[in-house]
Structure 1
Amino acid sequence: MKAITVEPMKAGTARLENVPEPDIRDGSALVEAIAVGVCGTDAEIVAGKYGWAPPGRTRLVLGHESLGRVIDPGPASGLHVGDLVVGIVRRPDPVPCANCAVGEWDMCTNGLYTERGIKELDGFMSERWRIEPEYAMKVDPTLGILGVLLEPMTVLAKAWEMVRAIGQRSFWEPENALITGAGPVGLLAALIGMQEGLDVHVFDRNASGPKPEAVRALGATYHSTSVSDVGFEPDIIIECTGVGQVIAESIHQVGAGGVICLTGVGKGGPLPATPTADTAAAAVLRNVAIVGSVNANKRHWYKASRALVRADPTWLERLITRRERPENFQEALVRQPGDIKVIVQFSEI
Structure 2
Amino acid sequence: MRAVTVIPGTPNSLRLVDGYPEPPIDEGAVLVQALAVGICGTDHEIIDGHYGEAPPGSAELVIGHESLGRVIEDPTGSLRPGDLVAGVVRHPDPVPCPNCAVGEWDMCSNGQYTEHGIKGLPGFARERWRVDPQYAILLEPALAQVGMLLEPASIVAKAWEHIERIGARAVWRPETVLVTGAGPIGLLAALLACQRGFTVHVLDRSPTGPKPDLVRALGAQYHSEGMAALGFDPDVVLECTGAPSVVLDVMCQAAPNGIVCLTGVSTGGRMIDFDAGALNRELVLENNVVFGSVNANRRHWDLAATALAKADRQWLEALISRRVPVEAYAEAYTPVSGEIKVVLDFA
Q: Per the shorter chain, which TM-score range? A: over 0.9
Contact residue 36 and residue 66 of structure 1 kept, 8 A? yes
CA RMSD, aligned part only?
1.0
What is the distance in 1 between the residues matched to 2:38 and 2:251? 31
- The letter of the residue matching 2:313 is P
SS in 1 for 2:134: helix
**Residues 230-254 of structure 1, C-alpha deviations (whole Å, 9 max, x = no match):** 1110000000001110011101111
- The letter of the residue matching 1:20 is P
**Who is 2:57 aligned against?**
56
Equivalence map 1:157-172=2 (5 Å) = 157-172=157-172
| Structure 2 unaligned regions, length at least 5 | none
**Who is 2:73 aligned against?**
72
More off after superposition, 279-288 vs 253-262: 279-288
Contact residue 245 and residue 273 of structure 1 kept, 8 A? no
**Who is 2:144 aligned against?**
144
- The letter of the residue matching 2:193 is G
What is the distance in 2 between the residues matched to 1:270 and 1:27? 42
**Who is 2:88 aligned against?**
88
SS in 1 for 2:159: helix
SS in 2 for 1:145: coil
Cα displacement (A) at 1:84: 0.5
More off after superposition, 264-273 vs 44-53: 264-273
The alignment-based identity, stated in percent, is: 53
- The letter of the residue matching 2:217 is A
**Who is 1:37 aligned against?**
38
What is the distance in 2 between the residues matched to 1:82 and 1:293? 33
Contact residue 29 and residue 76 of structure 2 kept, 8 A? no
What is the distance in 1 between the residues matched to 2:85 and 2:177? 32
**Who is 1:134 aligned against?**
134
Cα displacement (A) at 1:119: 0.4
**Who is 1:10 aligned against?**
10
- The letter of the residue matching 1:207 is P
SS in 1 for 2:185: helix
**Who is 1:276 aligned against?**
276
More off after superposition, 269-278 vs 191-200: 269-278
TM-score in terms of structure 1 length: 0.97
Q: Compared with structure 1, are the counterparts of its residues 326 and 340 closer, same or farther at alpha carbon in structure 2 (3 Å cutoff)?
A: same
**Who is 2:304 aligned against?**
304
Contact residue 178 and residue 236 of structure 2 kept, 8 A? yes
**Who is 1:154 aligned against?**
154
What is the distance in 2 between the residues matched to 1:72 and 1:222? 45
What is the distance in 1 between the residues matched to 2:144 and 2:234? 35
TM-score in terms of structure 2 length: 0.98
Cα displacement (A) at 1:277: 2.8
